[in-house]
Structure 1
Amino acid sequence: MAKDTSDQHPSGAHAEPTHQTRKSTEASPKSPGRRRFIAGLGAATAAVSTGVLAPIVAASSASARETPDLSTQSDFGGARSGNGLPASVTNKRVGEAFALRVAEATQDALVGPAINVNNGDSARYSDQGGTYTKGLPHDNFGRVDLQAFATFTDALNSGEFSDFQKIVVGGTRTLNGPQGGLAFDLEALDNVQFGQPIVPPAPATASAQNATELLEHYWASLLRDVAFTDYGSSALAAAAAAELGSQPTYFGPRIGGIVTPNLLFRGAFPGETLGPYISQFFIKPTAMGAQQISQQLVTYLPDIDYMTSFGDWLTVQNGNLTGDQNQIDPTRRYACKGRDLAAFTHVDVLYQAYFTAYCVLTSIGVPPNPGNPYIGSKTENGFGTFGAPDFAATLAEVATKALNAVWYQKWFVHLRPRPEAIGGIVQLLMTGQNNETDVTLSPVILSSVGLQQSFSKYGTWLLSQAFPEGSPTHPSYPTGHGTVAGACITVLKFFFNGSFVIPNPQVPSDDGLSLLDYTGSDAGHLTVNGELNKLGHNVSFGHGIHAGIHWRSDTDTSLLLGEAVALSFLKDRARTYNEPFTISIRKFDGTTATISNKGNP
């Protein structure tokens, strides 16, 4: 069984009483591989072998009998003796496959549920002003209809499909897939097993941290059309860096305690403060087989923002559309500013950037992870396992698992409102309509330079949006883009050598029309791991901070959640490989996780 350096599952389930049982199971000898692993868990699987599994076994027995193995004395690693395999199943490999599935399910079940707690805002505000309510009907001040809200919470509490069909919505937009959070997975921990400390309660609406994150949004909206390469000479970027840097609850990267303009809207994982703002994986031309990929984007025209009138804002909160549409820039450009990143994430397939990164990794010749079992082989190479088809397909597979895990957090734990919703409360408070909301906000935002600058530009205290419809119709925390990013990046680190230095780094010109050689002093230090970390924040902050629809903590938390989902998935998958291997990857926090199927690494 694989482990990370903490020897505890990243979900935080070490706090559960079942953890000691799990650890004692992990301590059992497992070499020389998956068959001993199955045998060692034969007794443990007996406790969960009846009931649910029986119909599945019955349905598969007929096909199992088609290729019998006469060596029926084997118990298939405990499958015959204790875990419910019917006597009619005589094929040895079918029995081993069954035992493996049950053994891994048992091991995952022993982890137990994680602790999942929200920030208490739903109970704190009787008008639900600190809770996600977009798509439900609201009054003229943006307060949700509480009877409609009750139909919403009834569905979340019951989990019944029929109750979700009874939710009273306020417009034509439908809620975005809440039942995905209730889907089960057969090759990773269950959604309910991810939680604290990876996913703590979201910052409370009235907290200084929430206000600081909202302040970052207002500055990002003002800088949406400033090229990242111009931040160093931009007075606006300097003002943003100074005000954000003065806040102790600003958790972006600093150098010597200072937030510089070139550090704005970056993540703080290893390698993210090196080189250009845009990851090399977002701009380097590549190919998918014979199809060339230039990485130039269809983006939006500058200086056109949305939801800057209270009427439009209220229309959108009720789940309707204003009739506005994003205006397409006729010129294709490399991503060079915040609006470009927002445009990409407006229409992307969530794992798209990481599949493209996979193409870049192969086209620039990045070697496989040093633990790949085929390195040095003179007789064979990886293909369906530890080869290109495995690399590519696994990205899509883990993305779905990550998405369902974060959907559980969004809908069934946190219900964090979108930044645009709190921008509406800012509007009420700044126009003297305090009696129309139960929510109070920190002076960090209400007395800020960034808020005043935004008012000077738009004539409103609302948070401008890059999209006319604002955010999607699902809660904010954590983010789907970020969780998929964390999972896919972890898979890429599993398959590729993360310490490889990327050759010939480039940077988009300030108009995005060309790529220039990057010649900074750190040009020789841009590694695969660092640029993958950067890519995750590029995409998720592009969808969040630059578009105005997700908080910084949504992304930072979601990347860690995605990593935890991928590690769970890879640990379960490890025993399905026939090749013995031990692979190490560098996690987002800089520590090492090890995945192996040949004993305790």
Structure 2
Amino acid sequence: MSVARRQARKQEAFQTRVAAARLARDRDHQVFEPNGEEDRYFRPNSQILSYLGSYTKGLPHNRRTALVTSPNHFVRFVRAIDSGEPADFIKVPLGPRPALEFESEEECRAANLFKSGIAGRNNTFPSSCLRAWESMGAGLVFDLEGPDAQAVGMPPAPTLDSDELVAEISEVYWMALLRDVRFTDFTNPGPIGRAVNTLNRTTWIRAARDPPDSLTPQERARLRGPFNPSNIFRGTLPGDDVGPYLSQFLLVGTEGIGGAQDRADGFISYGAHRIDQRVRHATKELDYMTSWEAFLDVQNGADVAGRDTFESGSDAFRFITTPRDLATYVHFDALYQAYLNACLIMLDSGVKFDKGIPFGEPDFKDHQQGFAHFGGPHILSLVTEVATRALKAVRFQKFNTHRRLRPEAVGGLIERFNSNPDDPQFQDVKPLFEALDEDMMRRVARHNREQNQGSDFGMPRADDFNPAGDTLETMLLPMAFPEGSPMHPSYGAGHATVAGACVTVLKAFFQHDTELDFCFVPSNDGSRLVDASHNMNKKLTVEGELNKVCSNISIGRNWAGVHYFTDYIESILLGEQIALGILEEQMLTFPETFTMTVPLFSGELKVLRST
């Protein structure tokens, strides 16, 4: 290459980077305000904010109320988030006794900061140390590809007194009660039918028939229902309502090298290796944070992660069979894991790339195969690459914008109001509490009593305090994980944002209307896959099953109790924007002229064109 050509190439590379930067700059930047709850709730007879409706996990909490012991702690929390300085994060009080300073983890454990069995007070586990907040400053990071983390946004989250929150928290309570029901049994009457009745009676679900004029466009788009056993707890994307609850991409394997295996075996080939789609089988009917002290310790930052238990022997692994299995998957997944697997399955199955992508003709016509670009390595790297961009964007929404409290904290407010409905600190919880189905809450209280009686490390100690005066029977939200939610606010959801981004990339590359010639569900014990294609009256498609895996993973976090429906639906839209922006910018870098036709979550088609 001549010197002149090298200089020209250098200038072209620079101009391409500038063009991508201009494209990102010129997009409409979405600006949404939070729902206002941070400045709405005050301590009784004062002008001191209580932060009743905000995310405060990890800050010091009062033992009786589970509210922050000092509003100034929350102010310092927000100040650190806004500055992004590690020194400011260190100044934020963490744990029930922030005045204590520790030189080592051993010293932290020896301080016996916590009171519940799960945190180590009954000798089942060592005493817990503290759990830090996760990537509080990620929303301030700049990226050189795709929309800036602060250029995309999410509308205000539902407030504590909203009809939408009543429906959302009712849904999450029922999901907790139904974690051990097989997905294949969802159409049977019984508990599922009772959940359907509860949700269909809520004002929010009834509003789907005759939406009020007062709703914002975003709220109107989130209306859903009425429910029946076939659609309850499912996503609302195209294809979510077709076929089994679980996406085939969470179950089937590949044929692999030399056709040595069948997709029904559930093994995905990773080169010469293979990965099993079966998941670790968590202990049945065991939930966490059902006693007041366990709940309070977790809110105070107790590090109890890793204290969950699992089945052993031949029952140690199985295909995802129940919501608890799905919750376990999303507890330990590598975040983009399901979408990388889906990509490998489609490549192995011979699903063709989008018709607008180059090199789709036979070799004797194109004389070129896709590989480094428009081939397997290209899509395999890109489907994972978008994940970190999505995480930065959603972190800005979580920490810097909305700071929405987690469902477990709403459960704490409900429990506290139930124990003393005349407490002036919790009168703002009254509309929510009175709108909840009484039968559902009796079931929750009975479930929690059984949990607290039957679990050595969940059972409260004799000196434990519960506002209701009963250390066993509570209205707390039963959690699938000992540690409850991650150490970051609820809205949006990291899993869902990553899901929206990764699935959008896959739908851009693969022919989305391709029909799948297989359909499987787990056997009753989850030990094998059973052919269910004979029960299908409509073919599964690539788009539908990709949308379904997006919903499955996102709603899997709801099954665990750590997110709400709005966290899922608004976050996947955020992820979709991130992926589309990255694709648009990358299309500037190719010499080939091509298009990508992307089916959006709204059901519309978006055509991306190279220039």
Question: Could you say whether these structures have the same fold, taking a TM-score greater than 0.5 normalized by the shorter chain as the test?
Answer: yes
- What is the aligned partner in structure 1 of residue 4 from structure 2? 70
In structure 2, the CA distance between the partners of 1:257 and 1:563, relative to structure 1 (3 Å rule), is closer
Task: Report if aligned partners of 1:252, 1:267 keep a CA contact under 8 Å in 2.
Answer: no
In structure 2, the CA distance between the partners of 1:395 and 1:253, relative to structure 1 (3 Å rule), is farther
Indicate whether 1:139 and 2:55 are aligned. Answer: no
SS of equivalent to 2:230: helix
In structure 2, the CA distance between the partners of 1:445 and 1:466, relative to structure 1 (3 Å rule), is farther
- Could you give the per-residue CA deviations for residues 288-344 of structure 1, whole angstroms, max 9, x where no partner exists? 222223311112010110001111100000101458821112221100111001111
What CA distance in whole angstroms lies between the structure 2 residues aligned with 1:282 and 1:243? 30
| Offset of residue 111 of structure 1 | 2.7
SS of equivalent to 1:163: helix
Indicate whether 1:588 and 2:580 are aligned. Answer: no
In structure 2, the CA distance between the partners of 1:446 and 1:432, relative to structure 1 (3 Å rule), is farther
- What is the aligned partner in structure 1 of residue 319 from structure 2? 334
What CA distance in whole angstroms lies between the structure 2 residues aligned with 1:180 and 1:339? 30
Alignment of 1:380-459 (within 5 A): 380-433=368-421, 434-437=423-426, 439-440=428-429, 441-443=431-433, 445-458=435-448, 459=473
Give the RMSD, CA atoms, in angstroms.
2.1
Indicate whether 1:130 and 2:130 are aligned. Answer: no
In structure 2, the CA distance between the partners of 1:110 and 1:478, relative to structure 1 (3 Å rule), is same
What CA distance in whole angstroms lies between the structure 2 residues aligned with 1:160 and 1:324? 30
- What is the aligned partner in structure 1 of residue 269 from structure 2? 287
- What is the aligned partner in structure 2 of residue 359 from structure 1? 344
Task: Report if aligned partners of 2:168, 2:565 keep a CA contact under 8 Å in 1.
Answer: yes
Q: Which moved more, 1:440-449 or 1:141-150?
A: 440-449
- What is the aligned partner in structure 1 of residue 517 from structure 2? 503
| Offset of residue 219 of structure 1 | 0.5
Task: Report if aligned partners of 2:23, 2:585 keep a CA contact under 8 Å in 1.
Answer: no
What CA distance in whole angstroms lies between the structure 2 residues aligned with 1:416 and 1:505? 38
Alignment of 1:467-486 (within 5 A): 467-486=481-500
What CA distance in whole angstroms lies between the structure 2 residues aligned with 1:70 and 1:398? 36
Task: Report if aligned partners of 1:181, 1:407 keep a CA contact under 8 Å in 2.
Answer: yes
In structure 2, the CA distance between the partners of 1:537 and 1:448, relative to structure 1 (3 Å rule), is farther
| Amino acid paired to 1:478 | G
- What is the aligned partner in structure 1 of residue 501 from structure 2? 487
In structure 2, the CA distance between the partners of 1:284 and 1:168, relative to structure 1 (3 Å rule), is same
Residue 94 of structure 2, aligned match among 169, 183, 191 = 169
- What is the aligned partner in structure 1 of residue 124 from structure 2? none
Alignment of 1:51-200 (within 5 A): 69-70=3-4, 91-111=7-27, 113-125=29-41, 126-140=49-63, 141-144=65-68, 145-170=70-95, 172-195=130-153, 199-200=154-155
Task: Report if aligned partners of 2:518, 2:533 keep a CA contact under 8 Å in 1.
Answer: no
Residue 460 of structure 1, aligned match among 470, 474, 480 = 474
What CA distance in whole angstroms lies between the structure 2 residues aligned with 1:485 and 1:534? 10
Q: Which moved more, 1:248-257 or 1:146-155?
A: 248-257
In structure 2, the CA distance between the partners of 1:251 and 1:446, relative to structure 1 (3 Å rule), is closer
Indicate whether 1:246 and 2:201 are aligned. Answer: yes
SS of equivalent to 2:186: helix
Q: Between Structure 1 and Structure 2, how many residues are aligned?
A: 510
Alignment of 1:214-225 (within 5 A): 214-225=169-180
SS of equivalent to 1:549: coil
- What is the aligned partner in structure 1 of residue 567 from structure 2? 554
Task: Report if aligned partners of 2:598, 2:605 keep a CA contact under 8 Å in 1.
Answer: yes
SS of equivalent to 2:589: coil
- Could you give the per-residue CA deviations for residues 51-100 of structure 1, whole angstroms, max 9, x where no partner exists? xxxxxxxxxxxxxxxx86336xxxxxxxxxxxxxxxxxx71111101011
Identity among equivalent pairs (%): 38
Gaps of 5+ in 2: 42-48, 97-129, 210-222, 254-267, 449-472
Task: Report if aligned partners of 1:143, 1:437 keep a CA contact under 8 Å in 2.
Answer: no
SS of equivalent to 2:598: strand
| Offset of residue 246 of structure 1 | 2.4
SS of equivalent to 1:239: helix
Indicate whether 1:299 and 2:281 are aligned. Answer: yes
| Amino acid paired to 1:546 | W
Task: Report if aligned partners of 1:270, 1:588 keep a CA contact under 8 Å in 2.
Answer: yes
SS of equivalent to 2:561: coil
| Offset of residue 351 of structure 1 | 0.4
| Offset of residue 277 of structure 1 | 0.4
In structure 2, the CA distance between the partners of 1:478 and 1:119, relative to structure 1 (3 Å rule), is same
Indicate whether 1:533 and 2:547 are aligned. Answer: yes
What CA distance in whole angstroms lies between the structure 1 residues aligned with 2:236 and 2:443? 27
- Could you give the per-residue CA deviations for residues 173-219 of structure 1, whole angstroms, max 9, x where no partner exists? 10011111111111111111102xxx210001221111110000111
SS of equivalent to 1:584: strand
Task: Report if aligned partners of 1:215, 1:445 keep a CA contact under 8 Å in 2.
Answer: no
What CA distance in whole angstroms lies between the structure 2 residues aligned with 1:134 and 1:369? 45
| Offset of residue 162 of structure 1 | 2.6
- State the TM-score, normalized to the length of structure 1: 0.82
In structure 2, the CA distance between the partners of 1:160 and 1:295, relative to structure 1 (3 Å rule), is same
- Could you give the per-residue CA deviations for residues 339-398 of structure 1, whole angstroms, max 9, x where no partner exists? 001111111111011001111111222111111111114300111111000010001211
| Offset of residue 425 of structure 1 | 0.3
In structure 2, the CA distance between the partners of 1:477 and 1:113, relative to structure 1 (3 Å rule), is same
Task: Report if aligned partners of 1:487, 1:564 keep a CA contact under 8 Å in 2.
Answer: yes
- Could you give the per-residue CA deviations for residues 552-574 of structure 1, whole angstroms, max 9, x where no partner exists? 11001111110111001101111
In structure 2, the CA distance between the partners of 1:251 and 1:175, relative to structure 1 (3 Å rule), is farther
SS of equivalent to 2:607: strand
